[in-house]
Amino acid sequence: MSIEYFNRCVDEHSDGVYRFILKNVKDENKARDIVQDSFEKLWQKLETISPSKMKSYLFTTAYHTMIDVLRREKRLTSLDMTGDETYSHTNQYTDLNEVLHEVVDRLPEVQRSVLLLRDYEGYSYDEIADITGLSESQVKVYIYRARTRLKKYIGKMEILI
């Protein structure tokens, strides 16, 4: 791969990687650092990666770097240990987007990541499996669980309208 392909990769994918990481870490500075580290790792492997694999390598590297940062800071919380009553939404609300962001923030990290890769970034199940290191069936299960939790949290649509 040449420097030209690297520059094209930066132009085409930096915004998408940044959005994905920012949605997960909720800190602009940390997100920028993770994206920068990911591009640095891509630069170091410049000669060994084919241009067709750059996007996948970049998102995979960013995902794993983000996981390392989150684990280092011990910010992972397990929502599986708490009861489902904390996930219901009964207040009358008019901003569906705000409600969705609130519940996505409460999802376990792995569910949030695969859901964002699928629904926000548009990756296929196979691509998400490559990025996260999960099997394709695990990806489908995590996405199903995340969507079920979203649906349960939002509750009846009449409340939101």
Q: Can you tell me which residue has the tokens 């691509």? A: 127
pLDDT in tens, 52-100: 888 888 999 999 998 888 887 764 444 444 454 455 555 554 567 777 7
Backbone angles phi, psi at 122, to 5 degrees: 80, 25
d(CA 100, CA 74): 25
Specify the pTM.
0.57
Architecture of domain 79-160: Orthogonal Bundle (1.10)
pLDDT in tens, 34-52: 999 999 998 888 888 888 8
What fold, for 3-73? Answer: Rna Polymerase Sigma Factor; Chain: A (1.10.1740)
